[in-house]
Amino acid sequence: MTKPRQARVYRGTTRNLALLARRLQAGGIVAVPTETVYGLAGNALDARACAKIFAAKGRPADDPLIVHIHSLAQLPALCRANAAALTLARNFWPGPLTIVLPKTDAVPDIVTAGRDSVAIRMPRHPLFRRLLAITGLPLAAPSANPFGYISPTTAEHVRHGLGRRISHILDGGPAHIGLESTIVDLRDPKRPALLRPGLITADAIARALGRRRLPAAPTTSTRARPGPQLAPGLLARHYSPRTPVVLHERIRLPAAVPAGEAWVLQQRPRGRLPANVYWLDPRGRLPGVARRLFGLLRRLDAMKLARIHVELARGGGLADAINDRLRRAAAR
């Protein structure tokens, strides 16, 4: 039996965008760049197209998709947006914020895992925005990787993970943020809740809504899946390398660093480093840590080590999102 062909990677030319838009309009799927991570996109109003996303990723049917839009004019066809949601949209869209709202009948059940709510975002990445505009469709797009594995932040990551399961990858360069979007539940505007932390913090959302704080929803257990998830990225184990991850509040390197293990620090320490010690940002700045985290975890995972030791991020705000991903990556 012949192997499936490797996916083609497209530059963001006008001609290529028109071609990929036609593929999406015809019910195909395309890996796309966003400012957060790369996504695997299909027509959010076409159940068969969305089924191809689930099949390519090996994604369980009880984990819903995020729907990406180009303009606020698309909202009424997809959801019942309340005043609080529109306030957040005006403050943070286009950008890395996903809002969960009551859905309309136009959104297929496969997109929402059968729930009566839908997760919606307006992305900021200029190339993805151009594709959305040309396509003229809302696009469902979870991360473009095998389900549960480390999210992709480059086109090469997508090609490595899904290259023989899909045919088209749009290359928009490395993801600028490197972590998935913040998700907030606004089905009931009187009871907003943070579902997943991201670059846009709970404090920033609370301020925009005129609230003192934004409560966080409980994490879903991996041992007992009580039913369809409300939004993606809520399972206790997710974003995970195959190599076991061990978390540390603060890493103090041992005198002799064990072979077969990697040690990942937030900031580059002074002096010469052993070959198996890594750092995420020269000065420990959180945007750099977030941007490089998934890429480094992928590199280390490919080395087939015994363990990856990682230092939890310090500094608040974006550190909450980084540590959320690390805790899910380390869960067993």
Interval 157-180: pLDDT, tens: 999 999 999 999 999 999 999 999
Q: Give me the pLDDT at residue 273, please.
A: 81
pLDDT, position 224:
45
What is the predicted pLDDT for the residue at 220? 46
For position 257, what pLDDT does the model report?
Answer: 78
Q: Position 156: which residue type?
A: E
Q: What is the pLDDT of residue 227?
A: 77
HEC-encoded secondary structure of the chain: CCCCCCCEEECCCHHHHHHHHHHHHCCCCEEECCCCCCEEEEECCCHHHHHHHHHHHCCCCCCCCEEECCCHHHHHHHECCCHHHHHHHHHHCCCCEEEEEEECCCCCHHHHCCCCEEEEECCCCHHHHHHHHHHCCCEECCECCCCCCCCCCCHHHHHHHHCCCCCEEECCCCCCCCCCCEEEECCCCCCCEEEECCCCCHHHHHHHCCCCCCCECCCECCCCCCCCCCCCCCECCCCCCCCCEEEECCCCCCCCCCCCEEEEEEECCCCCCCCCEEEEECCCCHHHHHHHHHHHHHHHHHCCCCEEEEECCCCCCHHHHHHHHHHHHHCC
Q: Give the neighbor-by-neighbor strand order of the sheet with 193-196.
A: 8-10, 168-170, 30-32, 39-43, 139-140, 66-68, 117-121, 97-102, 182-185, 193-196
Buried b (16+ CB within 10 A) or exposed e, 279-292: bbbeebebebbbbb
- In tens, the pLDDT along 307-318 reads 999 999 998 889
Burial group, residue 270, by CB count within 10 angstroms (0-12, 13-18, 19+): exposed
Nearest to 39 by CA among 206, 196, 183, 161: 161
Contacts of 313 (CB under 8 A, 6+ apart): 266, 286, 289, 319, 322, 323, 326
Q: Which fold has domain 8-208?
A: DHBP synthase (3.90.870)
> How many other C-beta atoms are found inside a 10 Å radius of the C-beta of residue 86?
16
Q: Is the dihedral of CA 37, 39, 45, 48 positive or negative?
A: negative
pLDDT of residue 331: 95
Residue extents of the structural domains in the chain: 8-208, 245-330
- pTM for this model (two decimals): 0.95
Residues of the chain with pLDDT under 70: 1-3, 218-226
Task: State residue 275's pLDDT score.
Answer: 84
Phi and psi at 247, nearest 5°, equal -100, 145
Q: Please, what sign has the CA dihedral across residues 78, 83, 86, 88? A: negative
What gap in Å lies between CA 165 and CA 158, rounded to an integer? 10
**Which amino acid would we find at residue 325?**
R
Q: Which residues are 182's β-sheet partners?
A: 97
For residues 95 and 124, the answer to whether their CB atoms sit within 8 Å is yes
Of the candidates 181, 170, 179, the one whose C-alpha atom is nearest the C-alpha of residue 122 is: 181
